[in-house]
Amino acid sequence: MSLPVTLATNRRILTQLRHDPRTVVLMLVMPTLLMVLLRYVFNSTAQFSAIAPALLGIFPFTIMFLITSVTTLRERTSATLERLMTLPIAKPDLLFGYALAFGLIAVAQVSIAALVSVTWLGLDVASSVWLLLLVAVLDALLGTALGLFVSAFARTEFQAIQFMPVIVLPQFLLCGLLQPRDEMGWLLSWVSDVLPLSYAVDALNHVTHSAEVDGTLVRNMAIVAGSALLALLLGAATLRRRTP
């Protein structure tokens, strides 16, 4: 692995995005707009505050998943990946370059959404806003890493989009937002224990409702970060230098 090559890849992806301002604007403001919409759907700060923390993680998670899976798929199908595989670049250099670029976007995206939620929409954060930001960025990174990974299993962008209902929606249903996880049947409760988004939502709820940084919070954050890293490494394993 080589840090300069990872950074060059990161710079290349951000430059590509810079030439596509519409996508950048959509990425930066969409989660915020959805939070605003959510706030006025409930028309009550209390109800909004109950559900907002989870969605502050879920919206960026979903958006980053979509964007990353389509972007990486484009690299795979446009023969630029094959060219890169003939060049002296390690597979993790490419994937970490992607993760870094989209991670930076996620930081901006989540910061705007959290700032608007806290200052304007009336979201109460019991612990620090920084901790909330950190957890939400981890969630977005998890979405990025999963998007990178599943792009290996799609042949077209059309298929890649369809992985959203497969990968994202079940996690959304089982993450504890609609029904507390321990009140689900044993099977679903067990499935929800395996899915990483559950820990992301637990961590966000903890940060907004309690000022205490305890072992459970640290463990949940570690699980989210670990899952993201695992998905990235699995993604690297799906890149092949030789193809049929």
Residues that bind other proteins (CB under 8 A): 4-5, 8-9, 11-12, 15-16, 19-20, 78-80, 82-89, 241-244
Smallest gap from residue 240 Cβ to other proteins (A): 9
In the bound state with other proteins, the residue whose beta carbon lies nearer, of 89 and 228, is: 89
Helices (H), 19-123: 21-42, 45-77, 80-85, 91-119
In the bound state with other proteins, the residue whose beta carbon lies nearer, of 3 and 37, is: 3
Smallest gap from residue 126 Cβ to other proteins (A): 43
DSSP for residue 99:
H
Smallest gap from residue 11 Cβ to other proteins (A): 8
**70 contacts 157 by C-beta, under 8 angstroms:** yes
Select from 243, 41, 74 the least CA-distant residue to 160: 74
Select from 154, 7, 157, 15 the least CA-distant residue to 94: 7
In the bound state with other proteins, the residue whose beta carbon lies nearer, of 56 and 160, is: 160
Smallest gap from residue 75 Cβ to other proteins (A): 9
Show the tokens assigned to 240: 């092949």
Sign of the torsion angle spanned by Cα atoms 229, 235, 240, 241 = negative
Select from 201, 41, 200, 62 the least CA-distant residue to 121: 41
Smallest gap from residue 19 Cβ to other proteins (A): 5
In the bound state with other proteins, the residue whose beta carbon lies nearer, of 43 and 243, is: 243
Smallest gap from residue 189 Cβ to other proteins (A): 44
User: Is 58 in a helix, a strand, or coil?
Assistant: helix
**Alpha carbon distances (Å) from 229 to 57, 139, 176:** 18, 12, 23
In the bound state with other proteins, the residue whose beta carbon lies nearer, of 38 and 73, is: 73
In the bound state with other proteins, the residue whose beta carbon lies nearer, of 194 and 241, is: 241
